[in-house]
Structure 1
């Protein structure tokens, strides 16, 4: 939802005002981080004169030498890491570097102040467990270098002392270099200027004038509009560069309304990771919106790498790709030899505060990188089955009668759906965990109506709590000190939907525990076990704050400033909400929680959507690369509001959005309050029929969806996948973002242009055969066709997963069914994929369609383990090469074979 509205709170005009949000030129640490390494040239005098030109001038200095040197004589090797000092040659101040080898071909590099003025923030709670370390074996390299290798010896870290550089070597090839451009940057915490002046005056010492220059330049006090951000211990930004050798294709670092493949940055441009409430966000823009995952992947034929930058403060990422040059002339004695030059992509990470804590995922295949990242941050939570169906939402369904009418409309028009949603108007004056007594006088009665149709209800719960002494949630939280504080020590107060509000400090374990308890049936009056939760506005959104969010100087649990952990705030609310729903069921039922703000690891707690999109064709089109990027960075359960949240879609656009949404993981129709009603049956019978067919297609494939989510949960396989992950050696797939694989068996190409009758679909795989899902027509791969298609093959594999659809018994009692289907040499086999599972099922296979069969069989029989063969009636269509087997009754949980003769 929603920084919009025409009520007592109205920020719609502000939110779309370009001056509300910063571009890179207004981010102080980005402007000044380039000042590094200029101490040797009387830097501070120069910067006072040339501050407006510093970005451009510093970017021209990329080839300068690093000012950091590793002191290899300081190397110590412990049980977990190898430690050594890295010294700034200009200031003589040391940093402490640590390199870890982690199970599964992962390296971790940490760089921190050796003796900080006070502890610097290190992101907690994201890593699933303490990673199992692999002891690194050190060996001497050339003079002034050190080689660290894992036990296998096929991956090595080559550390060069002067200038400090780390090369990641695989099979004797350097695949990644760290600090090869000399852009390691680390601002040390400092004593405030006034305290320093007082101390130095008392001691008769001279004041450091460079500190005064920093004050003048806004490094200690950053101004933006009417807001002033005071940095108590001065600027504390960090940065580091990574060179990826042979790579031209990078992906990841959501969330941006941008292409799937990362673009080059330059001229003060960078990808921004800073969670913000951006109503009607601009597309094809690198501005940060609702969530941040500081993780990117680089891919080339034969190798995939990942870089996970574990930092929750405002972060900027620069990307610069230099394509391969065919030849360059290198003088070798009297002969000029031709030499091929590899492509390279340089990535520079910069964060406002914290430490450098980066994980290098070495692959080598995309599936390996997915597993390595999930080992660190967790896999996608196994969703309850109902949540994979269609969801109906609006800001707001007016009252109980309105909800009943919409619910009945789906039945009347024969359109399946599983979940009804209620936005903020269902509460009493935007007080969460309450019900408006006039609009929803009997919420349990409404839920029982939905339950009778096996449907669920989702209601909203935001992090802001109305300042109201008569509101029990507020008074209890205030009494226990559970709100975020302002820098003066009082409760932070900002304006959001209820008016003046305080914000729960979800970074505190005690606050999360208390908040989780609010979902208990005894605490949340009117709730039942079919009620699930939607966390919105949790960037956090503060209507009259800087960039519509919380001041960076606000104070959280542990006395940490908000600047340190801004991007992880929403992550903590979703964590607490999911835990609350699990506790509510005494650990028996899986929760469903949707969040707008997210961070690395949010996949462990539920689903994510792309926020306040607009009812325009361009937003439908951009939703595909946005969801692909979320998927490859661990968040499989993602979707975009069907129809567009803002505005009124024309009928054709709405139909096309339903058709696209049916093949996206989270499938919800949603609209803002000032739009026309758009329930699926309000656009004429022809369009109603098309929407009905799209929604029914979703339900037809629900067993497949559920099996894909099981694989995402247990094996970190993305549910929707860009083509390059399934065809990692085919260059033609690397830039494709208008189509994708749904699992490994279906290729999806949504229609995203008006009045389109055909679409050009690229079919990868020179050895693949592709079949139309409705016509059964087939094409060979490595070509483009003008017909939407689905995937099947002459020799095929597939899986089917089944459990009760809602509980955790699949974990505790192994009550699940996991079957494997294989078709080879004219035999279709159903066998057990996991012997640990035991789940009695009455489900049977009634029909089987086999595509691509070149000739009509003479007979078809089923074969069971007891040796009994039964003939099967069949029909064969030579035009489509399709064999149809019907009137079967084959138990899905039993072993059997179908033989074609």
Structure 2
């Protein structure tokens, strides 16, 4: 016990030191495969297609690829590989390459794709002079050069959009037997054997030894994006949205890690790893998705950046290049690359999410305000916080409990003294329409009598160490083991722990937070699980030894995804799949969005950490994870009043809106600041609630169309070069532009208003002042204002009667804010359902188009077969930019016509229609007379 206490005290000392210890984490030079592969820069690719083996059938081209030893007079085939090029729907291609007959099966990522991708037609167009040309059903072509192997992907215009292996860095290290290097003789089929370097079979970092029983098995591929100005994606990192050239230092690293006090402007790995990259330039957008769950490093060279490497290349080629090259290097797996041939940003974002799945429609409460802390200490503390929000008239939907609510950090239990009657605590919250979220982490306390540990030990449910015994690491409970969610039996067992009878005190209004799921192991290498731990692999005939299990190195970045999938399934099953679950995860991988929201981890109460929330969430949203947010106020340290105010104002306009803080920080509920600051925090939260139906509609549309909720400016303005690197402002949907104030003591901020060529008008949401798009401008701000603008030509729904929780606002009336464009027209949408069940899938919902043109405002139900009995009605219409006042207005709904009252505010050209009284459950029209 003394050792455990010392260890945890030492860990906590590290975790509040306010600075990441880089020595705990590898550089590329310290990562054996990265160091090895980064030096691999051949003049010519060693891979060649055997043209005699090419077959095109349906949507797939298959062929044999060989590596050949050309050092002797007689060519010797060193290794044979199986190549597949697939044409998929929506302008996507897939390249797969594996050893033709590997010594052991190589791991293929299992869970990130949302089902099997749908194929498109593929036709062989030509086979001339060692070049194959194939075309999909949409008019995109691929030119495959047989020797040396190269893929050129052409858009519909015939221009090259993506090139694969132009820099000859494709590599698949063949699996070998230890102590031998096999070379297959093409003529005789014999094996030549030579000694193998012992360093290929083990690796040491600090005091941790990695046994590497399969030896070297890395894969690598290079991609070129002609005509690209920038590339984006590969979250999760803390630098700019537009990725930088890496030749001056470390590559970007994708390896899910628990990094305490992560640094800003860094390419270091943190909690998430999504290996998708997009390119964009004035000609087109394109993208690639490297489908691999092992540790991955990514190099980037932007030839327009003026680095030493790009300058030398431009000098040799005789001019400034608009091109970006990238290279993905992974420790294991197979070559599995998806190529997206856009050609606009929205196209490539959608192409990726078509593969990995949209975020399903979340429960409505989850888009409201959440209050958290490590930890609210007992039920009385929870009641006090709950009542504090009512006393200070601040709306709240969720209170969160961190690890201290458990009985000795044993998950699926409650502290018998501090949380003796959790059902009463939950009932007190739900009476006000509020919810509870409790944390469930993957580490299982190794304590005799703890039912999860006993079951896992008895049934062999834990991840194994390299010797085949239950792996034991250290985390918050002390000695811990980790369930092996790759085993379907274990995943089912875990999901069943969420049943109401297995987790007494919970109800449909208790939801879940999955933290530490990288997984975090305090005494492990790089604060995670050793790579030579063993995971379940489905049994196959004749597979023994190394072929009978997967190593953690193969599945590491996918571990957290399997964990949250189990949580999601358990949350559904506990109430017969009637209610939509809400789950928050820290570990991120492709497909995460299908199960959970994401936050950016343990940030700090510093201005730089506030600013980085924008590029971090933009990058995640572009990579499919729209439901993103950051700990409001910062997890570590204490935010003074100005920083706290600005963070609430920013958080109110980001998808996930939760305040959270470290156990050792000063309490910071909004009313604990000076009254003037509390008033500002209250106003920020109330702004969020007024726009909840706007947020809810955006998430519904994301679930049906796949586009990000939080968007970079260039997604909507792809030809406007100034937008390509802007990541201190963003769009919500297409129509609300937000520029958080992330600098202290300022009275104005620089804002870019896009749309000069299209003559876009932007309206200040506070004053309704119309501002024609003209690029950069300076916007005056005070402590109560951040710049937010509504796009001309849009209609945004609001609810002005803000109550204690979103559930209490369900039937409240709407205000429609109509912002006219240069043609005096506008369009919007509104989605309504019960906010918590799946009954919308049975057409129990309302989705309406709202259009203003030709002096009419029309509200039209899109799906006539869908109905929802909302009691909400239209309380007010605000029309900005109208100038000429109509003389009359009338509402027509069904066979009833009603005259309406109008007020024109000439100072800002705003017309207000008061209390039209139209029901939102049926179509209607307001006609203006002149």
TM-score by length of 2: 0.89
Q: Which residue of 1 aligns with 2:258?
A: 277
2-side partners of 1:385 and 1:151: how far apart?
Answer: 40
Q: Which residue of 1 aligns with 2:434?
A: 455
2-side partners of 1:871 and 1:461: how far apart?
Answer: 57
The answer to whether the aligner puts 1:262 opposite 2:280 as a matched pair is no
Q: Which residue of 2 aligns with 1:804?
A: 834
Q: Which residue of 2 aligns with 1:840?
A: 869
Q: Which residue of 1 aligns with 2:512?
A: 533
- Whether the 8 Å CA contact 2:411–2:440 is kept in 1: the answer is yes
The answer to whether the aligner puts 1:160 opposite 2:141 as a matched pair is no
1-side partners of 2:425 and 2:5: how far apart?
Answer: 27
The answer to whether the aligner puts 1:110 opposite 2:96 as a matched pair is yes
- Whether the 8 Å CA contact 1:466–1:502 is kept in 2: the answer is yes
2-side partners of 1:801 and 1:674: how far apart?
Answer: 42
The answer to whether the aligner puts 1:819 opposite 2:848 as a matched pair is yes
- Whether the 8 Å CA contact 2:641–2:677 is kept in 1: the answer is yes
The answer to whether the aligner puts 1:890 opposite 2:918 as a matched pair is yes
Q: Which residue of 2 aligns with 1:791?
A: 790
Please state whether the residue corresponding to 1:479 is helix, strand or coil.
helix
Task: Give the direction of change, closer, same or farther, for the CA distance of 1:836–1:574 in structure 2 (3 Å limit).
Answer: farther
User: Over residues 546-588 of structure 1, what are the superposed CA-to-partner deviations in whole Å (9 max), with x where a residue is unaligned?
Assistant: 0000000000011100000100101111111011011011010
Q: Which residue of 2 aligns with 1:856?
A: 885
- Whether the 8 Å CA contact 2:617–2:629 is kept in 1: the answer is yes
- Whether the 8 Å CA contact 1:14–1:20 is kept in 2: the answer is no
Alignment of 1:703-722 (within 5 A): 703-722=693-712
Please state whether the residue corresponding to 2:864 is helix, strand or coil.
coil
Please state whether the residue corresponding to 1:475 is helix, strand or coil.
helix
Please state whether the residue corresponding to 2:29 is helix, strand or coil.
helix
Q: Which residue of 2 aligns with 1:226?
A: 207
Task: Give the direction of change, closer, same or farther, for the CA distance of 1:520–1:324 in structure 2 (3 Å limit).
Answer: closer
Q: State the Cα distance separating 1:65 from its structure 2 match.
A: 1.8
Please state whether the residue corresponding to 1:569 is helix, strand or coil.
helix
- Whether the 8 Å CA contact 2:81–2:99 is kept in 1: the answer is yes
Q: State the Cα distance separating 1:7 from its structure 2 match.
A: 8.2
Aligned equivalent of 2:761, options 769, 777, 780: 769
The answer to whether the aligner puts 1:649 opposite 2:639 as a matched pair is yes
Q: State the Cα distance separating 1:220 from its structure 2 match.
A: 1.8
Q: State the Cα distance separating 1:350 from its structure 2 match.
A: 0.6
1-side partners of 2:635 and 2:671: how far apart?
Answer: 18
Task: Give the direction of change, closer, same or farther, for the CA distance of 1:267–1:370 in structure 2 (3 Å limit).
Answer: closer
2-side partners of 1:205 and 1:607: how far apart?
Answer: 52
2-side partners of 1:799 and 1:11: how far apart?
Answer: 50
Alignment of 1:217-366 (within 5 A): 218-323=199-304, 342-366=321-345
User: Over residues 627-658 of structure 1, what are the superposed CA-to-partner deviations in whole Å (9 max), with x where a residue is unaligned?
Assistant: 00011111011100000000111111011100
Please state whether the residue corresponding to 1:406 is helix, strand or coil.
helix
2-side partners of 1:440 and 1:345: how far apart?
Answer: 56
The answer to whether the aligner puts 1:483 opposite 2:462 as a matched pair is yes
Question: In angstroms, what is the RMSD of aligned CA positions?
Answer: 2.0
TM-score by length of 1: 0.92
Q: Which residue of 2 aligns with 1:145?
A: 131
1-side partners of 2:927 and 2:760: how far apart?
Answer: 23
Q: State the Cα distance separating 1:35 from its structure 2 match.
A: 5.1
The answer to whether the aligner puts 1:372 opposite 2:358 as a matched pair is no
Q: State the Cα distance separating 1:12 from its structure 2 match.
A: 4.1
Q: Which residue of 2 aligns with 1:781?
A: 773
Please state whether the residue corresponding to 2:670 is helix, strand or coil.
coil
Task: Give the direction of change, closer, same or farther, for the CA distance of 1:13–1:96 in structure 2 (3 Å limit).
Answer: farther
Q: Which residue of 2 aligns with 1:725?
A: 715
Q: State the Cα distance separating 1:207 from its structure 2 match.
A: 6.0
Please state whether the residue corresponding to 1:696 is helix, strand or coil.
helix
Q: State the Cα distance separating 1:869 from its structure 2 match.
A: 3.6
Q: State the Cα distance separating 1:141 from its structure 2 match.
A: 4.1
Q: State the Cα distance separating 1:887 from its structure 2 match.
A: 2.1
1-side partners of 2:62 and 2:191: how far apart?
Answer: 36
Q: Which residue of 1 aligns with 2:542?
A: none
Unaligned runs of 5+ in 2: 70-76, 183-189, 307-316, 538-548, 780-786, 793-819
The answer to whether the aligner puts 1:29 opposite 2:33 as a matched pair is yes
User: Over residues 732-761 of structure 1, what are the superposed CA-to-partner deviations in whole Å (9 max), with x where a residue is unaligned?
Assistant: 111110000011121001010011222111
Please state whether the residue corresponding to 1:193 is helix, strand or coil.
coil
1-side partners of 2:36 and 2:424: how far apart?
Answer: 60
Please state whether the residue corresponding to 2:104 is helix, strand or coil.
coil
Q: State the Cα distance separating 1:6 from its structure 2 match.
A: 8.9
Task: Give the direction of change, closer, same or farther, for the CA distance of 1:195–1:114 in structure 2 (3 Å limit).
Answer: closer
- Whether the 8 Å CA contact 1:72–1:145 is kept in 2: the answer is no
Q: Which residue of 1 aligns with 2:804?
A: none
Q: State the Cα distance separating 1:14 from its structure 2 match.
A: 4.7
- Whether the 8 Å CA contact 1:770–1:789 is kept in 2: the answer is no
- Whether the 8 Å CA contact 2:242–2:725 is kept in 1: the answer is yes
1-side partners of 2:180 and 2:280: how far apart?
Answer: 50
1-side partners of 2:576 and 2:483: how far apart?
Answer: 24
Q: State the Cα distance separating 1:92 from its structure 2 match.
A: 2.7
- Whether the 8 Å CA contact 1:5–1:673 is kept in 2: the answer is no
Task: Give the direction of change, closer, same or farther, for the CA distance of 1:576–1:324 in structure 2 (3 Å limit).
Answer: closer
Q: Which residue of 2 aligns with 1:169?
A: 154
- Whether the 8 Å CA contact 1:307–1:359 is kept in 2: the answer is yes
Q: State the Cα distance separating 1:371 from its structure 2 match.
A: 2.4
User: Over residues 496-550 of structure 1, what are the superposed CA-to-partner deviations in whole Å (9 max), with x where a residue is unaligned?
Assistant: 0000000011122211111110010111122122111000000000000000000
Is the deviation greater in 634-643 or in 130-139?
130-139
Unaligned runs of 5+ in 1: 37-57, 197-203, 326-337
The answer to whether the aligner puts 1:77 opposite 2:56 as a matched pair is yes
1-side partners of 2:254 and 2:693: how far apart?
Answer: 36
2-side partners of 1:446 and 1:734: how far apart?
Answer: 49
Task: Give the direction of change, closer, same or farther, for the CA distance of 1:363–1:194 in structure 2 (3 Å limit).
Answer: closer
Aligned equivalent of 1:743, options 719, 725, 733: 733
- Whether the 8 Å CA contact 2:48–2:66 is kept in 1: the answer is yes
Please state whether the residue corresponding to 2:23 is helix, strand or coil.
coil
- Whether the 8 Å CA contact 1:324–1:341 is kept in 2: the answer is no
Q: State the Cα distance separating 1:435 from its structure 2 match.
A: 0.6
User: Over residues 189-211 of structure 1, what are the superposed CA-to-partner deviations in whole Å (9 max), with x where a residue is unaligned?
Assistant: 11012899xxxxxxx999613x1
- Whether the 8 Å CA contact 2:485–2:563 is kept in 1: the answer is yes
